């Protein structure tokens, strides 16, 4: 079985936000659909700017409670063995949880993580308060709640906190 680099999964995760505007079949009413569309058309708002690109800012959801709690059954807090990786072009990212070990690790390495522009994935988060505690441990760093099971199986890791770069996996 061929292994796919983790960067491909991040691209697939973000791909829906980069799609151009879609054309819906009902945009051009035919004789068959015209009677139905006359009543369902939205009002025209001339203040809208058509074809203006919209960018999703994943770090600032209005309400992230819909995704919580996040549980990653294949991961738990613990020690990992550092090892080399060969994933050219991979942006550094890290996995953490709401446990005391992860929070201490984040506080210790916050400056280093920010300098390398690492993104954070919170793989064990019970609620919005726990997510706020994780983010407070490393201010200025984007940390999103994500299930880490797929990453754990592909990188063959069982524990967090862990930093993954293009050249290494380390704690």
Domain boundaries, the chain: 58-170
Inter-residue contact 138 to 110 (CB < 8 Å): yes
Distance CA(86)–CA(44), nearest Å, equals 53
pLDDT at 49 over 60: no
Hey, what CATH topology would domain 58-170 get? Glutaredoxin (3.40.30)
- The residues that bridge with 84 in the sheet, in sequence order, are 168
CA distances from 151 to 15, 38, 168 (A): 18, 48, 15
Contact 106, 96 (CB under 8 A): yes
Other residues' Cβ atoms within 10 Å of the Cβ of residue 58: 12
* pTM (2 d.p.): 0.64
pLDDT, residue 90, reads 94
Average pLDDT over residues 156-168: 96
What mean pLDDT, rounded, does the chain reach?
A: 81
HEC string of 120-145 equals: EEEEEECCHHHHHHHHHHCCCCCEEE
Q: Is the pLDDT of residue 91 over 60?
A: yes
Q: What is the reported pLDDT for 23? A: 54
Confidence of residue 64 (pLDDT cuts 50, 70, 90): confident
Counting residues of the chain whose pLDDT is more than 70, the rounded percentage is 63
């Amino acid at each position: 079985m061929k292994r796919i680099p983790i960067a491909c999964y991040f691209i697939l995760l973000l791909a829906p936000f980069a799609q151009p505007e879609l054309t819906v079949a009902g945009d051009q009413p035919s004789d068959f659909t015209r009677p139905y569309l006359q009543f369902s058309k939205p009002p025209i708002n001339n203040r809208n700017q058509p074809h203006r690109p919209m960018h999703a800012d994943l770090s600032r959801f209005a309400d992230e409670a819909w995704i919580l709690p996040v549980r990653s059954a294949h991961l738990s807090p613990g020690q990992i063995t550092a090892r080399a990786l060969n994933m050219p072009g991979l942006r550094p990212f890290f996995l953490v949880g709401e446990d005391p070990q992860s929070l201490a690790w984040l506080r210790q390495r916050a400056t280093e993580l920010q300098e390398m522009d690492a993104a954070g994935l919170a793989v064990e988060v019970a609620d919005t308060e726990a997510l706020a505690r994780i983010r407070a441990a490393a201010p200025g760093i984007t940390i999103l709640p994500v299930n880490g099971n797929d990453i754990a199986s592909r990188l063959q890791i069982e524990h967090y906190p862990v930093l993954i770069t293009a050249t290494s996996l380390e704690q």
